[in-house]
Structure 1
């Protein structure tokens, strides 16, 4: 109504909407995109559902700007923005920015000039070419100049001349692309009895009003094909589907499988898309022209309407946690969006997180399933394939040769596998050539000047690189401390160094590297996948990017070079992450008719993680891990929050962290630990102190944090980052 206040949320890091004055015309509905003055700028915002917290007289309000010709933001997505802000303590405007990541997509589709006949009657005495053009435009057809000229068999000059002579009338034509619809009626792969039973359970939940399903199956059990049946069920109901994958490198084989099942590829969403691709895809999604989207965690905030199913594949993966700006966990927020949409969500994993497994009620000795949770198990591999045999290689007894990192049993297995014409995989979660470079003369270690971290040698690029801030430098010829020449030595293995050792061991083998350094985009990932499938690679060496999701039929041997790498550091989830990673990478072996074999090199064969891996007993590991968490009242029996203070003045950062800790209210069930230097005490040139907040189950930790921190005003020189339910403890 005229003369009313309209609340508008703008995508800036502030909390709550701002009121604007509507002088004339109907009041725009919540979700409408509008242009508003903000400071000295004009921004695009969203008409919000709640009024601003600070009501002002109408005459003091700035006028509301133009309404954009764009589909409104769906109500469940607006509710998700509020939920994420509430759970993460991020300003609501910062979360809104995630849902408005492509401002250009709010502009209308571009128009091009097309032509139709100016008159139904054709003038006498037309040339053959002009008559052909008019004949092509019979029955009211409208065509772009190039398409018209091609269809009529003439040059575009003829078309332009006819337009100048008034024989053709110009028509503005919206250049709106189309997207092929997946066909749910296509026949997929033949499912086993167990797979069909699992798929039927998922399909029954589609359209039934929601629920969370843990689809828990060993590597190679066919989880993807099973949840494809639920995707088909949603499509048959004219609903849309969102699938989240943790790694861009996982999408190559996934997209091929999707296309075989549904006849076309879905829309893909990740950071490697060009601006034009992002604009086109976002706009088509908002208009309801795309049925299935697969993407990284940012796809969670796309404006999909009528969602009938959400899938989070590899739900346990740590890369679903956003570690900067808005610190959210895409799996947890996907569960929230499914609840807001009233649709089911499938969490698929061969190694579910402890939190997910407990909620699904599938841990021996753990509590029953939480309300609305379901557990669907696939305990056997598809097609009669068996899980690989796992052998622990005790590096205290089976030592690699001097200067090498592959033990005698693993070296022998690699030689044997190559002779048998099978493929092998070597796994080491270290990029580059070596994690440390030191001087043999003075002991100096080359460190990053901006971080508490050593520089990693990348011999293929001839550089030393920091994997935390990106700082790099050419590999020096002399020691920067003592000046000694020729005394710098690489210490420890990286994947490049393994490739060098492998070249000596297997000089005829075709070796490929698969790391985040070599996989820059989906094309690069697809190229390596295709090379493996075509048997153009004998040994694949890689980091965690190869540990999950890939299916290589001829791969029969997996060697884990350093299984102990992730167990140190006192991280709450160190054992869980190590088990998940090694169980997943082991599951790449023997997925077809040839049996698989896994050799795990470790200095700690007696460790519970190694013992569980040796017998493939995931359930036992989860039960032991859950009991340890219960004893310490750690997640999922409580919640944690990390408060990271950062600044360029170390003493100032310490003082502010101590002052904030002293201001913490004493509350039963909540303990504030610290402050203490963060494990990465210096990161990107900023000194860091950490507080850890531990709360028992049932306490509203975000609410408590908000009440504690709201009145605290830190100086501009000290930045505070709050991470609720942290995944990384660096």
Structure 2
């Protein structure tokens, strides 16, 4: 909004979203000159209470807009951006997300900005370019394989190349700095170049089979409008090839493609596929980047320089001037749901963004969520099925091992061990899944049955043996030394019970001393670059046992794995969460999907004490789609999501009675105000009642009418926040995915 000349006594105002836990935007005054320069979507430095904060302008109020003379406005401290850094569509998306998830708009907008911009740092960072100084330095780097590889890459670009491109090629910044110390290369700082790089094909597409061809044609018909597609493809059926061929057409039109994956671990193989197919600028956005690299990638996306944007959950909010396609790979994955603070679901945000941008959205999975199947059933999404594995690969066969009667070594069925030995002897790889890291989940006294429990949580300590022997609570992070004797009876015989990945690793090393055991969990991949090294090792065609947690089961392509095993399937069958069977079925199919992706047949073994469980029999005798159909019918009969809409109130304090009384009081108010159109379950203690020294209580709200549920929650929730004791913490989770 431009004004030609300042009017006398006029107060010029902008509305600012402030990063505080308040549900309103706030008006600030500014000079006429600043008002002329101010842009909606730009950052401003402001004073709020006693804090100096960075806000974002959400509106420029007209000079003649009514103003209460009793209100004394604060002036903005500084305009930080000449241009908007968040465009109108992204601001609309963030505003909708704030309203839908009932979370403060200032906090929502902050979550969409890179850390350096949230801190008020300048938008324009200098680009780092590395140039070779010594083209005959092989003798100086004989001992370092990494430096040798980096040196070879630098020699290919004698005039210099950008640091982010070197990083994408696998050259780490630390390696470049090591070469710089030896005088082999230097770092030059230049102004950022945001001009788009032309897109060209690096490799011709593969020949699509009939199912793939049908899917590609269906998506491309919708490329200039919003339409949502569920790409429901068997593991190894070529979903990525469908993405690539659709992307090829979209990129050819000069449009950008946003691809979301659930975890950082999936980005190396995904970016490798993209780089081998397309010559173009690819921006990576995930939490593993340092602040300056994340800002550079965000800028490349926001300016249109990057044609492909590959990221995890939060990348869905990245401003993209030419967005033409959104892809969510492994759409069923729980990692797409933010579980703290602003509890959004990237899948639902993606669908709304596609609607705003008028572009297609493709959700891909071998095990689609029950929620997505319901959207297909309701006609809100089109289902495209891929029923044939790529090449000659066959679906693996699932076998159930009854642990009640099986002979076992180290908790592993003898039959499974024999099958593993056969595969390893044939130079094949074996994948063993156990969703429990550490050495053992229980430490017990053999004399009096005392157990090592966390003093702050209703949970046992987990025994860890690396980097030293200790007890670790995986819920609150408390770490204790390993006791030398029982604190209850002073007995010195303390026994580790149960299996964690570290203990299974020891057992497998003992049972298979001639083969590598490669462990993949949060402990083994905590260092920067460690997952990439493990992944590269797995890709070599050498016999090995891959042992890990959820990280190992998520969409990876392991061509040499022919046998998969889940050591403890029962934990997923006993949960109080109504979604537990869905997650367990997805896990079984995803682990099975890692086996037999090459030319050799795959098998999957499930160890269980409940071989008669109907879920297991459905998966063995039929398939995941049949399980999903049954589950949809059961959810509909029970009036559970997705056939009713849910919200979860989490309440925590140091007094469980305080939680219960407070929630009961407000539950009664909601029942009266909503005329009993909202079902209220609870308050009840959370599945883990005490965590980190505080008591947790839950209350679940359900309604068949989403709009009505949101309407009644809105004012009631604000009232709860205003009335809660200062020692109590409350959170609201719209469409909760977990009840823990």
TM-score range, shorter chain: 0.7 to 0.9
SS in 1 for 2:662: helix
Shift of residue 51 of structure 1?
Answer: 6.3
Structure 1: tracts of 5 or more residues without a match: 113-142, 145-171, 362-367
State the distance in 2 between where 1:101 and 1:56 align.
Answer: 36
Q: What is the TM-score normalised by the length of structure 1?
A: 0.86
State the distance in 2 between where 1:50 and 1:671 align.
Answer: 42
State the distance in 1 between where 2:93 and 2:538 align.
Answer: 41
Specify the alignment match of 1:468 in structure 2: 475
SS in 2 for 1:48: strand
Specify the alignment match of 2:485 in structure 1: 478
In structure 2, the CA distance between the partners of 1:424 and 1:572, relative to structure 1 (3 Å rule), is: same
Specify the alignment match of 2:461 in structure 1: 455
Specify the alignment match of 1:553 in structure 2: 559
Specify the alignment match of 1:160 in structure 2: none
- Please tell me whether the aligned partners of residues 395 and 603 of structure 1 are also in contact (alpha carbons under 8 angstroms): yes
Deviation by residue 1:418-438 (Cα, 9 ceiling, x = unmatched): 111111111111111111111
Structure 1 residue 63 corresponds to structure 2 residue 75: yes
Specify the alignment match of 1:726 in structure 2: 736
Structure 1 residue 664 corresponds to structure 2 residue 664: no
State the distance in 2 between where 1:621 and 1:250 align.
Answer: 27
State the distance in 1 between where 2:307 and 2:583 align.
Answer: 34
Specify the alignment match of 2:638 in structure 1: 632
Structure 1 residue 39 corresponds to structure 2 residue 49: yes
Specify the alignment match of 1:22 in structure 2: 30
Specify the alignment match of 1:93 in structure 2: 106
Kindly tell me the number of residue pairs found equivalent between the two proteins: 661
SS in 2 for 1:665: helix
Shift of residue 299 of structure 1?
Answer: 1.0
In structure 2, the CA distance between the partners of 1:503 and 1:39, relative to structure 1 (3 Å rule), is: same
Identify the match of residue 122 of structure 2 among 103, 107, 110: 107
SS in 2 for 1:444: coil
Specify the alignment match of 1:430 in structure 2: 436
Deviation by residue 1:511-553 (Cα, 9 ceiling, x = unmatched): 1101122123672222112111113451100111111211111
Identify the match of residue 289 of structure 1 among 278, 292, 305: 305
Specify the alignment match of 2:725 in structure 1: 715
- Please tell me whether the aligned partners of residues 8 and 17 of structure 1 are also in contact (alpha carbons under 8 angstroms): yes
Shift of residue 41 of structure 1?
Answer: 3.6
Shift of residue 93 of structure 1?
Answer: 1.2
State the distance in 2 between where 1:573 and 1:252 align.
Answer: 30
- Please tell me whether the aligned partners of residues 671 and 678 of structure 2 are also in contact (alpha carbons under 8 angstroms): no
Deviation by residue 1:257-279 (Cα, 9 ceiling, x = unmatched): 11111135721111111122122
Q: Which moved more, 1:227-236 or 1:33-42?
A: 33-42
Identify the match of residue 7 of structure 1 among 6, 12, 15: 15
Specify the alignment match of 1:155 in structure 2: none
State the distance in 1 between where 2:526 and 2:66 align.
Answer: 47
- Please tell me whether the aligned partners of residues 355 and 636 of structure 1 are also in contact (alpha carbons under 8 angstroms): yes
Deviation by residue 1:302-336 (Cα, 9 ceiling, x = unmatched): 22222111111111011111111111111111111
Deviation by residue 1:129-177 (Cα, 9 ceiling, x = unmatched): xxxxxxxxxxxxxx99xxxxxxxxxxxxxxxxxxxxxxxxxxx996215
Specify the alignment match of 1:683 in structure 2: 691
- Please tell me whether the aligned partners of residues 86 and 702 of structure 1 are also in contact (alpha carbons under 8 angstroms): no
Structure 2: tracts of 5 or more residues without a match: 128-158, 161-187
Specify the alignment match of 2:207 in structure 1: 190
Shift of residue 612 of structure 1?
Answer: 2.2
Q: Which moved more, 1:67-76 or 1:307-316?
A: 67-76
Structure 1 stretches of 4+ moved >4 Å? 50-55, 177-180
Shift of residue 354 of structure 1?
Answer: 0.6
Deviation by residue 1:471-491 (Cα, 9 ceiling, x = unmatched): 112322222333222x21111
State the distance in 1 between where 2:288 and 2:499 align.
Answer: 30
In structure 2, the CA distance between the partners of 1:696 and 1:522, relative to structure 1 (3 Å rule), is: farther
- Please tell me whether the aligned partners of residues 70 and 106 of structure 1 are also in contact (alpha carbons under 8 angstroms): no
State the distance in 2 between where 1:173 and 1:684 align.
Answer: 46
Structure 1 residue 498 corresponds to structure 2 residue 510: no
- Please tell me whether the aligned partners of residues 260 and 310 of structure 2 are also in contact (alpha carbons under 8 angstroms): yes
State the distance in 1 between where 2:121 and 2:222 align.
Answer: 34
State the distance in 2 between where 1:593 and 1:620 align.
Answer: 27
- Please tell me whether the aligned partners of residues 512 and 537 of structure 1 are also in contact (alpha carbons under 8 angstroms): no
- Please tell me whether the aligned partners of residues 665 and 708 of structure 1 are also in contact (alpha carbons under 8 angstroms): no
Specify the alignment match of 1:333 in structure 2: 349
Shift of residue 564 of structure 1?
Answer: 1.4
- Please tell me whether the aligned partners of residues 426 and 560 of structure 1 are also in contact (alpha carbons under 8 angstroms): yes
Structure 1 residue 694 corresponds to structure 2 residue 710: no
- Please tell me whether the aligned partners of residues 194 and 303 of structure 2 are also in contact (alpha carbons under 8 angstroms): no
- Please tell me whether the aligned partners of residues 351 and 583 of structure 1 are also in contact (alpha carbons under 8 angstroms): yes
Shift of residue 23 of structure 1?
Answer: 2.5
Shift of residue 680 of structure 1?
Answer: 1.3
- Please tell me whether the aligned partners of residues 6 and 20 of structure 1 are also in contact (alpha carbons under 8 angstroms): yes
State the distance in 1 between where 2:461 and 2:622 align.
Answer: 36
Q: Which moved more, 1:409-418 or 1:29-38?
A: 29-38
- Please tell me whether the aligned partners of residues 645 and 702 of structure 2 are also in contact (alpha carbons under 8 angstroms): yes
State the distance in 1 between where 2:401 and 2:303 align.
Answer: 56
Q: What is the TM-score normalised by the length of structure 2?
A: 0.85
Higher-Rg member (1/2): 1
